[in-house]
Chain A
Amino acid sequence: MNRRLQSWLVHAALAVLAVATLYPLVWMTLASLMPAGEAQSLPPRLWPSRITLSHYRELFERLNLARYFANSLFIATAVTTLSVVINSMSGYALAKLRFAGRDGLFRLMMAGLVIPAQVAMVPLFLLLKQVGLINSYWAVILPTSASIFGIFLIRQYAYSIPDALLDAARVDGASEWQIYRIVVLPLLRPILVTLGVFTFMVTWNDFMWPLVALVDGDLRTLPVALAILSGEHVQDTELMLAGSVLTLLPVLLLFVFVQRYYVEGITAGSLKE
């Protein structure tokens, strides 16, 4: 088989897979702009007969989606900020600072990677209920303010920081905190950006824990609100699709803009040295 035919076949296969991959997202977006009822037609339509924003209006005016959007935004931002700081401190310490039990602690943490988070959910709920944090943003922010995967990523990256640089700063009389702030953090910036984007997306998309921990309607995050709405409005196809678009759009846009960093981060985390 000559090269041109091979190339044609490979690209044809890629194109078919790409269409299959994108179709649900494209249909979702276009159908959300259709007049009510049009998304459920035979044969299925891809293109709206006319574009209408009425479903989006309804989401914001009647169904309070702006509130849920704001909740998600606040929580995702808070968790990202907090976890970047905490994870970077831990990752740096595990890579570059020495203390008793360092390697043992790291191995213990890594063992935690195989444990599903759901195993901890019920007791965690009880714990937070005891201290009255259930039904507040803290219930969602605190437990995710550190992550084993994040610490692991930063530790791997922090290894590349030259010890000579750190020792020179110590000789100059800098405190460990100053070294961390002035020398280490700038050097960690690429991985921090990657981790930040990753954390934002994961937090934004989180479903089960916010479902459990944020009982109050007003505090709900967008995915939870969407799930509850979809139960009540099964028949309103276009409305629900508009809700999906709103839920997806921020993370999808974020991904498209930073996809190089994000994908590199995933790869770096998986290739064990």
Chain B
Amino acid sequence: MSPRRRGSDDLSPRGRVLITPGLLFLAPGLVVLCLFFFVPILASLALSLTDFDIYALADSGNTRFVGGANYRRLVSEPLFWKSLVNTLYFVALGGPLTVVVSLSAALLVSSQLTRFTWLWRTVFFAPVVTTLVAVAVVWRYLYHTRYGTLNYALGWLGIEPIDWLGDPRWAMPAIILLAVWKNFGYNMVIFVAGLQSIPQDMYDAARVDGASAWHTFWHIKLPLLAPTFFFVGVTTMIGYFQLFAEPYVMTQGGPLQSTYSLVLYMYEEGFRWWNIGYASSIAFVLFLITLAGTLVQVRLQRGVYR
């Protein structure tokens, strides 16, 4: 039986060998990804079905298979639901807000009237490359109730000082604002590329037809940006589900657990209390949610094309 399969076109003159040069080149990357990513993902599911904890860390013989016990505990745990709702709040509000701000910035930056485009682009992208922990530290001071610049600026508009990081109602919005500030530049750049890929003929034809700026935006730019929207939407959503550093540095999940995120919950359970089996079930839920979110976006995208 010949080992040659369709598509296997090995270039070695020595004949039909399965270990082709291509596979050898791919091997290091494949090994690293499998060993340190894909296998652990599967192991996450497996671990979530055990009661691996601090005793098992010392001696893995202490592990027992417990089936869905971790998940049953998850469902009955108020902190899980709180962290899930918090994370969904962050994604549902922060995601679209980030996209809107980035699109607006992209429209401004790529407008035909704009000069010094490179300058604006660099400035708006700068927060993206900054270290999240470092900016979280800075914003923690900017959010200070008495001495923070934000409350001072709001004072000009006649708004009373808000205890941003101390008020359970405002802590998550504060983190959302930070996330928008940090990430809008990234999506902006992608939108700019998308806008630039729209052929000039489209704009010319619209202008000949006497289309207004708003009309051009709504009926030309927006529809042609649909694939870009999809990419930006999915990547932003996936990124935002991983909310961790901001609550860890700025609020420790508080006040009153209003910023306690899913990943923070997983971190505490897994790496502080060493409830590894339980933490793995949280991780798997995170995986399912991200998958679901992606599939929803795919469906929505297909709907747009129809």
Q: Which residues of A contact B (CB under 8 A)?
A: 3, 6-7, 10-11, 13-14, 17-18, 20-25, 27-28, 31, 39-44, 86-87, 89-90, 92-94, 97-100, 102-103, 105, 109, 112, 114-127, 129, 142-143, 145-146, 148, 151, 170, 176, 180, 201, 204-205, 207-208, 212, 222-224, 226-227, 230, 237, 240-241, 243-245, 247-248, 251-252, 254-256, 259, 262-263, 266-267, 270-272
The one of B21, B32, B228 that contacts A86, using a Cβ cutoff of 8 Å = B32
Q: Does B72 contact A (CB under 8 A)?
A: no
Stretch of B76-84, B123-131, B215-223 at the chain-chain interface = B123-131
Q: Are A27 and B142 in contact (CB under 8 A)?
A: yes
Chain A residues near B96 (CB-CB < 8 A): none
Chain A residues near B129 (CB-CB < 8 A): 201, 205, 251-252, 254-255, 262
Q: Which residues of B contact A (CB under 8 A)?
A: 5, 7-11, 18, 20-26, 28-30, 32-33, 35-41, 43-44, 47, 57, 105, 108-109, 111, 113-115, 120-127, 129-135, 137-142, 144, 146-149, 152, 181, 185-186, 189-190, 192-194, 197, 227-228, 231, 234, 238, 241-242, 244-245, 248-249, 263, 266-267, 270-271, 276, 279-280, 283-284, 286-287, 290-291, 294
Q: Are B25 and A89 in contact (CB under 8 A)?
A: yes
Q: Are A207 and B7 in contact (CB under 8 A)?
A: no
The one of A17, A23, A127 that contacts B105, using a Cβ cutoff of 8 Å = A17
Q: Are A123 and B40 in contact (CB under 8 A)?
A: yes
Complex Cα–Cα for A105 and B142 (A) = 47
The one of B26, B142, B185, B280 that contacts A122, using a Cβ cutoff of 8 Å = B280
Chain A residues near B111 (CB-CB < 8 A): 10
Chain A residues near B115 (CB-CB < 8 A): 11
Which of the listed residues A119, A122, A180, A263 has the most CB atoms from chain B within 10 Å of its own CB? A122
**B198 CB, nearest partner CB in chain A, Å:** 12
Decide: A93 near B38, CB < 8 A? Known: A11-B115, A122-B47, A226-B134. no
**Is the contact region of chain B dominated by helix, strand, or loop, or is it mixed?**
helix
Extra 5 A-B pairs, beta carbons < 8 Å, given A17-B124, A98-B10, A116-B238:
A42-B147, A97-B21, A114-B290, A122-B276, A247-B133
For this complex, 5 residue pairs linking A to B, each with C-beta atoms less than 8 Å apart, are A11-B115, A40-B147, A126-B276, A176-B24, A226-B131
Complex Cα–Cα for A11 and B115 (A) = 8
